[in-house]
């Protein structure tokens, strides 16, 4: 795959991770509503929402590490501010100059 396609796949991965995180926030709201009716079910829902939030955060971080591995440009400014992925300039390796043998 070319680097353009890899960038698109990373952006899709970021969006899917944000969807999982968004679902966890919906779970938090549902847990608060359920807590008014049934305390035990509300606490269970709250714990499941925390687990879903952690999994979404881990997924987002993992996609960022994958993008660091394959490199390329990114339009995602959230990663820049969270220090997950920042595009780096190409590293130029300086090769040592071979020494000429001295003639005697």
Domain boundaries, the chain: 3-82
SS3 call for 59: helix
Measured between alpha carbons, how far is 93 from 2 in angstroms, rounded to an integer?
Answer: 24
Contact 53, 45 (CB under 8 A): no
In total, the chain counts a number of residues equal to 104
Percent of the chain whose pLDDT exceeds 90: 41
Task: Please list, in sequence order, all residues whose beta carbon lies within 8 angstroms of the beta carbon of residue 73, skipping any fewer than 6 positions away.
Answer: 7, 87
Q: What is the pLDDT of residue 33?
A: 93
Cβ atoms within 10 A of the Cβ of 16, count?
14
This prediction has a pTM of 0.70
Q: What is the pLDDT of residue 14?
A: 86
Percent of the chain whose pLDDT exceeds 70: 72
Task: Please list, in sequence order, all residues whose beta carbon lies within 8 angstroms of the beta carbon of residue 104, skipping any fewer than 6 positions away.
Answer: none
In tens digits, the chain (104 residues) has pLDDT values of: 455 676 677 788 888 999 999 999 999 999 999 989 999 999 999 999 999 999 999 998 898 888 777 776 667 777 766 777 766 654 455 667 777 777 76
């Amino acid at each position: 795959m070319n680097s353009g396609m890899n960038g698109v796949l990373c952006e899709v991965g970021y969006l899917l991770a944000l969807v999982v995180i968004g679902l966890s926030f919906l779970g938090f709201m549902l847990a608060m509503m359920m807590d008014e009716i049934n305390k035990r079910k509300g606490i269970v829902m709250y714990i499941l929402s925390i687990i879903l939030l952690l999994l979404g955060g881990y997924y987002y971080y993992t996609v960022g590490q994958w993008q660091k591995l394959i490199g390329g440009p990114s339009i995602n400014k959230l990663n820049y501010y969270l220090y997950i992925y920042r595009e780096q300039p190409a590293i130029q390796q300086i090769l040592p100059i071979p020494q000429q043998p001295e003639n005697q």
